[in-house]
Amino acid sequence: MTTETLAGPATDTTGEPRRARAVLSSADFALIRKAVAHYLETGPAGEDMAKLGHLYHRLGSAAR
């Protein structure tokens, strides 16, 4: 089974590509941001903490 079978054709009747659908809602971004904040407070210190801090701030921008 192909993705075209599952989702239908990738173009509309005019031959133009269909608009992409959002995968996550703004509520999802807020929830993921909360989870990242909790991990930043309770998780072990490591080299990924800076990356997670940046992700936390990007998720705040995306949730607005």
Q: Could you read off the pLDDT of 6-18 as tens digits, one per residue?
A: 556 677 678 788 8
Residue 57 confidence (pLDDT): 93
Residue 8 lies inside a defined structural domain of this protein: no
Q: What is the pLDDT of residues 9-51, one digit of tens each?
A: 677 678 788 888 888 888 899 999 999 999 999 988 888 899 9
Residue 15 lies inside a defined structural domain of this protein: no
> Do 38 and 51 meet the contact criterion of CB atoms below 8 Å apart?
no
Is this structure's pTM higher than 0.75? no
How far is Cα 23 from Cα 21, in angstroms, rounded to an integer?
6
DSSP conformational letter for 10: S
Residue 50 confidence (pLDDT): 92
Residue range(s) defining the domain that contains residue 58: 20-63
- Per the structure, the count of domains in the chain is 1
Residue 25 lies inside a defined structural domain of this protein: yes
